[in-house]
Structure 1
Amino acid sequence: MRTFSHLYLRYSVLPAISLSGVLYLDVYEHSVTGADFNNFIEGLLDKMNPYPGPNSIVIMDNASIHKSPELRPMIEGRYVPVEL
């Protein structure tokens, strides 16, 4: 019996895209956790503006990682509307 060992690198990429291009980006060498996503959002919010300025709206899909109970108040606390 032969066994082969392969090194697989796994990356997870979290991009925030605006009309002007990539606004913010994080790359992880593992699957993204809720804590990782919250840290990503905190970094993203530093690049955003209060509504209704440019880069002022967060739109997320219905992924489970987007449903953290502290996420929406964190975003709305920075005067950025959330659309799910």
Structure 2
Amino acid sequence: MKPEDLLLLVTRTMPFGKYKDRLIADLPGHYLNWFAREGFPNGEIGRLLALMQEIDHNGLKPLLDPLRQRPPRQ
């Protein structure tokens, strides 16, 4: 994991499927767990989904809250 990945979780949206256009950080746990069972897609999206599943599974979602409220860089 790269530190920038945490910021991507709260800015990148799901590009396909039932939850298309929803932030990866806002995907429901059961959907992330389904990917964990069935296999994550290749590439960046799969890496981010796996990271989000691990965060969600361990009850660490509140750690992303400060990143959501972060003002844009100038």
- TM-score with structure 2 length normalisation? 0.32
- For CA contacts below 8 A with separation 6 or more, give which structure has more relative contact order: 2
Larger Rg, first or second structure (1 or 2) = 1
Higher strand share: 1
- TM-score with structure 1 length normalisation? 0.29
